[in-house]
Amino acid sequence: MIKLLDFYAAWCGPCKMMESVIKELEKELKGKIEIEKINVDENQAKASEYGVMSIPTYVVLKDGKEIGRKIGVTSKTDLLKLLQ
């Protein structure tokens, strides 16, 4: 299964801008992909495990291996392309 890791922080403006896009993806791709939201302030270990230096960062995993990554505000179209 494909998994999207969404690295964010509550205080991050660009992360807030992306919330609606992520919610839309969750609805549209329910059952096809899993989305895991990771607050970098609360889970610094996971952020450092994936080498996340800026947020928002989106990491796509397939069978536990990274197959794609986007950093910053990203269009829904670009995220969908990344997930294919």
**Is 54 annotated as catalytic?**
no
Residue of 4, 5, 15, 55 marked active site = 15
In sequence order, the 6+-apart residues with CB closer than 8 A to the CB of 58 are: 4, 5, 6, 7, 69, 70, 71, 74, 79, 82
**Is 46 annotated as catalytic?**
no
Residue of 2, 3, 9, 12 marked active site = 12
Cα dist from 32 to 27, 61, 80, whole Å: 10, 13, 12
Q: Which sequence positions are flagged as catalytic?
A: 12, 15
